[in-house]
Amino acid sequence: MALQSLPASGYSLIHHSDRGVQYCSEQYVKLLQDYQIQISMTENGDPKENAIAERINGILKQEYLNYYRATDLADGRILLEKAIELYNTERPHMSNGMLTPAVVHSEMISTNKLWKNYYQKNRKLVKLS
């Protein structure tokens, strides 16, 4: 249904997913290619790799985008860009010592790691065939 609602031209989409079997299937990949949608997947198929992206997406949706309704794709882009700007410039982050990402990056501030990583990342690449 989402693909049917795309405009005829003038869009550039990226579909990001973990390496779940449904997203790697030949039929699904072909469908994305037919619509000229770029495919992006996590590096190793480890579901934990996607946690940071899912956390950020959740924050953007819950703290910013749930309060607005886009009328079209252009409006949606504007709302998303504004949400990302607010997230990076006005929202203090506990993992940055309650500073915003913009301040940490612009002033090259070194922050203490305030989170724990309970798993070792598997660097083995999944065979693409």
Each residue's pLDDT tens digit, 1-30? 788 887 777 678 888 887 778 888 999 999
Contacts 24+ apart (CB under 8 A), 78-86: 84/60
pLDDT of residue 104: 85
Q: What is the pTM of this model?
A: 0.55
To which H or E segment does residue 16 belong? strand 14-17
Helix (H, G, I), strand (E, B) or coil at 34: helix
H helix and E strand count, the chain = 5, 2
Measured between alpha carbons, how far is 2 from 47 in angstroms, rounded to an integer?
A: 25
Domain boundaries, the chain: 14-45, 46-116
Measured between alpha carbons, how far is 36 from 90 in angstroms, rounded to an integer?
A: 35
35-67 pLDDT, tens digit per residue, is 889 998 877 666 666 777 778 888 888 888 888
